[in-house]
A and B are shown apart, each in its own frame.
Chain A
Amino acid sequence: MSRPVPALALLLTLLTWAGACAPGNSTDEVLRVSAAASLGDVFGELARTFEEARPGTRVELNLGGSARLATQILEGAPVDVLASANRAVMDGVQAAGRLLDEPRVFARNHLVLAVPAGNPGRVEDLADLGREDLLVGLCAPTVPCGALAHRLLRGAGVAAAPDTEEPDVRALLTKLELGELDAGLVYATDAQAAGASVEVVPVPEASGLTTEYVVAGVADTAHPEAARAFAGYLISGAGQTALRRHGFGHP
């Protein structure tokens, strides 16, 4: 009957060891930041510089679709800061009384018409998204980039014929980079991050229609001071410089 005991003891030892080996100093204050997928690159950089400017604080990034991040917070996930790619998602969290402060706009983004390098489908304007002979991708209407795409298309009077509605903008970008899709609407910052593997077809209507990135601390955070500091850092000169370098617009 004593067989399971050594096994359990071994398991506990392993778990303790795994815990002890986690990176960073255990006395550090850990700030959990949930950020929209499109902020991944720039927040990786900002988290590092924020940690340097504030010794003793360690930033953990949780990247994903904004709506999913909001759901996690509403379901009680231990998150300190939420940075969302649109206001509607943040409004939902605020309405549930789960925000520390009023959300602040820290960046803007707009959509671009992106095609694989060489533009194999010879896409010229927004109306080409309705062409049946092309494979066209959009973001799903339930995520911010998809909601923005639908506003843009409706405004331009284009009936798009999408072949896929991707659940996040990075998945859509990957399929454009691979040349599996002929055209798609992605954020300007994503097209910039993709470098030479995608080209941008100029669409005058698109740059006027922007989405706001908003940030706020989460109500029951154990580190309200650090959460406010991180939100403030995004709006500071250093934060804005980094955001601009990655292609984000002024708040």
Chain B
Amino acid sequence: MHRGRPRPPPALVGLAAVAVAFFALPLVGLLARTPWTRLPALLGGEVLLDALRLSLVTSMAATGLSLVLGLPLAWLLARAEIPGRRLVRGLVTLPLVLPPVVGGAALLFALGRRGLAGAPLERLTGLVLPFSLWGAVLAATFVSMPFLVITVEGALRGLDGRHEEAARTLGAQPWTVLRRVTLPQIAPSLVSGLVLTWARAFGEFGATLTFAGNLQGRTRTLPLAVYVALESDRDTAVAISLVMVAISLGVLVLLRDRWWGAS
């Protein structure tokens, strides 16, 4: 116990305990249903390994794409005078609250073979996004990039501008200021945003299924594999769920707390 820190009111502790139980109980349920003796055999299955590989590839690609596109957007939202900023910010936040299935359907209408942009894209380049690995990456990026933009924009807004100002006064070019002063200062938030983005992409289900379909080895990521397995083989579904929980929890606890939560 830290001295000087007030004791929390008992009612608060009680309600918080209920909240923790609410999150922990489903996990306990999952563990209680885990076929521990069959687990090694289930984990070595080709279906699971294919899905795991795909999940890692799509979630990392989505995180990379979010970084390349989302970081500049966050910077502009925080720093530049852009017209309709509130609207842009609303648009960026929308995938967080939209049901992912709706997002997937909207992607299909826009980027599908007969979609607004998808039809010209296929005519010009021959590229078909639905039912492809690229489709799965785009679906994951659509739902996960908001986490990066919002986290980084918040960090940039909260930044004390004096260091950047000093660098500029000393003659640093804007690009140098961004690279040498701004980015190092927001590094913890950036990493935290990247971890959240990755975790959301890793767990993505609805938009992927709707936009990219479900085929083993091409678009069937771990969440889709769980959904399909639940229909027929619950032990496999539980084993895959366990893998997802272990990986996600591990990354969130280790990486996120190290950079952000511990401060």
A residues with a Cβ closer than 8 A to B are 1, 4, 65, 67-68, 71, 135, 137, 140, 142-143, 162-167, 171, 175, 178-181
Q: Name A181's closest neighbour in chain B (CB-CB).
A: B131
Chain A residues lying within 8 Å of B113, measured Cβ to Cβ, are 135, 179-180
Please, what's the 1-or-0 string for B137-158, where 1 marks a CB less than 8 Å from any CB in chain A?
A: 0000000000000000000000
Docked Cα-Cα span, A163 to B9, in Å, equals 57
Interface flag for B108 (CB, 8 Å)? yes
Docked Cα-Cα span, A87 to B215, in Å, equals 26
Q: Considering residues B131, B213, B232, which has the most beta carbons from chain A within 10 angstroms of its beta carbon?
A: B213
Interface flag for B89 (CB, 8 Å)? no
Please state if A162 and B231 are interface contacts (CB–CB under 8 Å).
Answer: no
Docked Cα-Cα span, A31 to B113, in Å, equals 43
B219 to chain A, nearest CB (A): 7
Interface flag for B112 (CB, 8 Å)? yes
Interface flag for B179 (CB, 8 Å)? no
A73 to chain B, nearest CB (A): 14
Please state if A71 and B230 are interface contacts (CB–CB under 8 Å).
Answer: yes
B residues with a Cβ closer than 8 A to A are 9, 11, 15, 108-109, 112-114, 128, 130-131, 209-210, 213-216, 218-220, 227-234
Please state if B231 and A65 are interface contacts (CB–CB under 8 Å).
Answer: yes
Given contacts A1-B11, A166-B214, are A180 and B231 in contact (CB under 8 A)? no
Please state if A164 and B114 are interface contacts (CB–CB under 8 Å).
Answer: no
Q: Name A116's closest neighbour in chain B (CB-CB).
A: B114
Docked Cα-Cα span, A71 to B218, in Å, equals 28
Please state if A4 and B231 are interface contacts (CB–CB under 8 Å).
Answer: no
Q: Name B224's closest neighbour in chain A (CB-CB).
A: A167
Docked Cα-Cα span, A67 to B11, in Å, equals 44
Docked Cα-Cα span, A167 to B213, in Å, equals 9
Please state if B231 and A142 are interface contacts (CB–CB under 8 Å).
Answer: yes
A34 to chain B, nearest CB (A): 14
Docked Cα-Cα span, A137 to B108, in Å, equals 15
A194 to chain B, nearest CB (A): 16
Please state if B232 and A137 are interface contacts (CB–CB under 8 Å).
Answer: no
Chain B residues lying within 8 Å of A67, measured Cβ to Cβ, are 230-232
B115 to chain A, nearest CB (A): 9
Chain A residues lying within 8 Å of B131, measured Cβ to Cβ, are 135, 163-164, 180-181
Please state if B234 and A71 are interface contacts (CB–CB under 8 Å).
Answer: yes
Task: Please name 16 pairs of A and B residues whose Cβ atoms are closer than 8 Å in the assembled complex, sorted by A.
Answer: A67-B232, A68-B231, A71-B230, A71-B234, A135-B130, A142-B233, A143-B231, A163-B215, A164-B213, A165-B213, A167-B214, A171-B210, A175-B108, A175-B213, A180-B108, A181-B131
Given contacts A68-B230, A179-B114, are A165 and B214 in contact (CB under 8 A)? yes
Docked Cα-Cα span, A47 to B216, in Å, equals 38
Q: Name A89's closest neighbour in chain B (CB-CB).
A: B231
Given contacts A135-B131, A164-B215, are A180 and B232 in contact (CB under 8 A)? no
B205 to chain A, nearest CB (A): 11
Q: Which of A1, A142, A162 contacts B9 (CB 8 A)?
A: A1
Chain B residues lying within 8 Å of A140, measured Cβ to Cβ, are 214, 228, 231
Docked Cα-Cα span, A65 to B9, in Å, equals 48
Known: A142-B233, A171-B209. 5 other contacts (CB 8 A): A4-B11, A68-B230, A68-B231, A142-B231, A178-B108
A217 to chain B, nearest CB (A): 23
